[in-house]
Structure 1
Amino acid sequence: MAKTQRRTRKTWWRTYGPPILLISPSVILVGIFVYGLIAANTYTSMRDAHTVAQYNGARETEFVWFENYKYLFGNSDFQHSLTNLLLFTVAFLLGTLVLGFLWAWLLERPIKGEGFFRSVFLFPMAVSFIASGVVWKWLLNSGTGEQAKGLNRLFHMLGLSFLENSWTANLTFGVLAVALPAIWQLAGYVMALFLAGFRGISDDLREAGRVDGASEWQLYRHIIFPQLSAVALSAVIIIGHMAMKSFDLIMAVTDQRTYSTKVPAIDMYNFMTSGDYSNAAAVGTILLVIVAILVVPYLIHDAKQRR
């Protein structure tokens, strides 16, 4: 019996030992630096460490559970940040999806210079958000008339003064102006996703539809669009989570003090730099939950599809 057990353990170790040894460093590192830090952040968000002295232990802190979250959700400034995040995410998503799909649809048919146009559309993605943000900060200058710069200056010179506006200075919709450079930068990436989806559809399916008498619209509606649903869902998840955690582009176009373009990530930075670590951690946890609400259903759906 003992020999049988030893033989079984050896067999098990030979089968599962090498894979376990291979993945264990990654599992340990991810456990410490991802999930461990998430747990530490959540713990900090439930304490009343609102000054540097409290965080360093010079003054006592208490475990206050969800009081910091109640404060944030009841704060009008944070409510404004959440509204801005919603507006920015919707504009970013719709803009990149529509432009990306249209560009992919145009390039899906073989045309001369396709490689050139693909490069032109994808080029903005190679530019960092900080670099493009500096340029767009000038383009979105809110000056009008003779003091106008950037796009407002162009409209003024063309006699289209009615198109001049305050851009990022608008208190209600200023964050939508920041969505413009974000759309410009990521629409090419979504185009690449859709173009890969178009190219992955068999020509036999298209020909079969045409033989059956389907019009071009019916061909797209019943054959091509359903085939692109997985690509569209992937694009929504990728762009959506990027919009949720947007920080560097907004900081480059405006700054952390601009109320009109403030989002939760900016609030987290402001809390942290002022020593209010508990509220900063609470904002981080809220963002994590929002992203999880967006991503986890996709992961579940993807797992079911694979099965």
Structure 2
Amino acid sequence: MPKNIRRWGPPLLLVSPSLILLAVFVYGLLAINAKTSGTDNHTAAQTTGRAPVQWVWFDNFVDLLGSESFQHSLKNLVIYTVVFLAGTMFFGFLWAFLLDRPVRFEGWFRSIYLFPMAVSFVASGVVWRWLLNSNQGEAASGLNRLFQNIGLGFLQNNWWNNPDWGIAAIAIPAIWQMSGYVMALFLAGFRGIPEELREAARVDGANEWQLYRHVLFPQLSPVALSAVIIVGHMSLKAFDLIMSISKPANYQTKVPAIDMYQFKLSFDYANAAAVGVILLVIVAILIVPYLVHINRAEKH
């Protein structure tokens, strides 16, 4: 038996089940989805084979991107992503910064911050649907009632029913739920910095702000980049939280994932697959540069 086969044979045999599953259920299904997105399979008759399916290449993508409804979904996705990303990064970093300093009951606070992450988006969506109720005045409930009772009635608003920024209101529960995860990332980054660096900076005369500004914060750049990629990736796939709060999905809170779901319900498999391809491309634009950066960093 050749040496190369003896060297690579057993490891390849060990990982072959995973490779087969990956090839079939990931790349194989991606290929089928891409193929479907290039057809005119828009009806139940075509889906069941009672009507012919024609190849239309990129017509579905042109129609989708030129549609005012889908452009609205993309706009909502951008707003949701920006608000969600900014909120989780700010609060996650703030909590990690506070917990990095000596505080009593650190484990208790850390558990409180991480607890929302253990709740499913569907369960939290049901609660936040009530908290973000749009009723005002005597019929107010949730946050609007709270604002009314503490004399801040001017803060009452329509929340996710707002036609201009309703999707931004849905980012609030997402921020509440995922800030603890970002906190854990940053806190691990803080704790991974050698104590010698802190001591050396203090010996050189740096105060606490200078220590964090010039020594610790620059060390957290890889953690921040990872957090941005992970949270940004999650925001692009937003579906269950939005559906739980605004079900049935309203126009003002519609995002591409909901479009894909609605296309599928109407047996418009071609447009549903096209939306999936568009989301895949957007995710790839975020993930691929990150993977290239990580690969180059490991080589150096």
- 2:192 corresponds in structure 1 to 200
CA contact under 8 A between 1:46 and 1:68: conserved in structure 2? yes
Question: SS at the partner of 2:24?
Answer: helix
Deviations 1:167-225 (A, max 9, x none): 00111100011000000000001001100000111111111112222232322222111
Q: Which amino acid aligns with 1:268?
A: M
Aligned residue runs from structure 1 range 225-244, under 5 A = 225-244=217-236
CA deviations on 1:54-96 (whole Å, 9 max, x unpaired) are: 1222111211011000111111110010000000001111100
| Alpha-carbon distance in 2 for matches of 1:78, 1:157 | 40
Separation of aligned partners in 1, 2:213 and 2:191: 17
CA distance in 2, matches of 1:38, 1:227: 37
Greater CA radius of gyration, 1 or 2?
1
1:111 to 103, 115, 125: 103
Q: Tell me how far 1:256 sits from its aligned partner.
A: 4.3
Aligned residues: 299
Question: In structure 2, what is the Cα distance between the partners aligned to 1:256 and 1:52?
Answer: 23
CA displacement 1:244-287 (0-9 Å, x = unmatched)? 00100001011243111100000000000011100000000000
Taking the aligned partners of 1:100 and 1:67, their CA distance within structure 2 comes to 42
SS of residue in 2 equivalent to 1:249: helix
Q: 1:1-307 maps to which residues of 2 (within 5 A)?
A: 9=2, 11-307=3-299
RMSD across aligned C-alpha pairs, in angstroms?
0.9
**Hey, what's the Cα distance between the residues in 2 that align with 1:66 and 1:144?**
47
* C-alpha separation in 1, matches of 2:161 and 2:150: 23
Larger mean Cα displacement after TM superposition, 215-224 or 144-153: 215-224
Q: What letter corresponds to residue 90 of structure 1 in structure 2?
A: V
Deviation at residue 24 of structure 1 after TM alignment: 1.1
Match of 1:3 in 2: none
Quick one: distance in 1 between partners of 2:23 and 2:58? 25
Structure 1 residue 158, shift from structure 2 partner? 1.6
Distance 2:60 2:248 in 1: 21
- Matches of 1:139 and 1:58 in 2, distance apart? 48
What residue ranges of structure 2 are gaps of 5+ in the alignment? none
- Between the aligned residues of both structures, percent identity stands at 63
Q: For 2:87, what is the secondary structure of its paired residue?
A: helix
Q: Which runs of 5+ in 1 are unaligned?
A: 1-5
- For residue 276 of structure 2, what is the amino acid of its counterpart? G
Distance in 2 separating the partners of 1:171 and 1:292: 30
Specify the SS of the correspondent of 2:15: helix
Q: Which moved more, 1:267-276 or 1:255-264?
A: 255-264
Q: 1:256 to 1:41 in 2, by over 3 A?
A: farther
